[in-house]
């Protein structure tokens, strides 16, 4: 995907989880194509809601990622089966400013971008809607960007897409390997069922 984007002249941002998707070779190759590398953090989930431990963990894992690439932005990973919203480590305005300075981070993508006039399109939950399979990956946009099928999604781009958009995808879902596609489909299906069960239990 990074190679296709590069060939088309696009610069994208790729966010890596540490240690879950930490692959030095892939990270370096993506940065070498001119794309941004960012930190896909989930420290509050990893530390079971312990804020102090989460901040320490954030610093340690960010430092590890920075041994491989330049990193100036971060983006939360939803961890839908955990009860914690990882963005909470940034939500307090005073702490937010302090953390930016402490970690040398320009911004958190969910909290530091004004999305009102941006079409936010994502494949969370293995679909193009913002339904129950998507627990946390939402932004405050006034632009409708929810599609019932891939065909509907492609038609949107062919006709007249909004002039500003964020296209957020999980590359592992778009492999051209039948084995890889089947394995990811099975994993997504089980995860989506688990998400819905968690939502029902917590109502």
pLDDT tens, the chain, 203 aa long: 999 999 999 999 999 999 999 999 999 999 999 999 999 999 999 999 999 999 999 999 999 999 999 999 999 998 888 999 999 999 999 999 999 999 999 999 999 999 999 999 998 878 887 666 677 888 999 998 889 888 999 999 999 899 999 989 988 888 888 898 788 777 767 765 655 655 556 65
Domain ranges of the chain: 1-111, 113-203
pTM over 0.85: yes
CATH superfamily of 1-111: Glycoside hydrolase/deacetylase (3.20.20.370)
Cα separation, 121 vs 145, in Å, equals 6
């Amino acid at each position: 995907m990074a190679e296709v984007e590069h060939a088309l002249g696009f610069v994208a941002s790729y966010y890596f989880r540490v240690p879950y998707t930490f692959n030095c070779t892939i990270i370096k190759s993506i940065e070498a194509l001119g794309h941004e590398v960012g930190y896909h953090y989930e420290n509050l989930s990893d530390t079971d809601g312990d804020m102090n431990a989460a901040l320490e963990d954030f610093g340690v894992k960010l430092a590890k990622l920075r041994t491989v690439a330049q990193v100036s932005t971060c983006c939360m990973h939803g961890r839908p089966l955990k009860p914690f919203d990882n963005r909470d480590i940034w939500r307090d305005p005073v702490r937010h400013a302090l953390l930016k300075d402490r970690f040398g981070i320009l911004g958190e993508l969910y909290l530091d971008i004004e999305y009102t006039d941006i079409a936010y399109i994502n494949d969370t939950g293995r679909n193009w809607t913002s339904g129950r399979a998507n627990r946390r990956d939402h932004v405050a946009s006034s632009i409708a960007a929810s599609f019932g099928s891939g065909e509907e999604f492609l038609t949107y781009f062919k006709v007249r897409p909004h002039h500003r958009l964020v296209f957020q995808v999980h590359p592992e879902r778009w492999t051209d390997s039948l084995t890889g596609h089947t394995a990811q489909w099975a994993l997504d299906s089980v995860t989506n069922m688990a998400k819905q069960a968690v939502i029902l239990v917590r109502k």
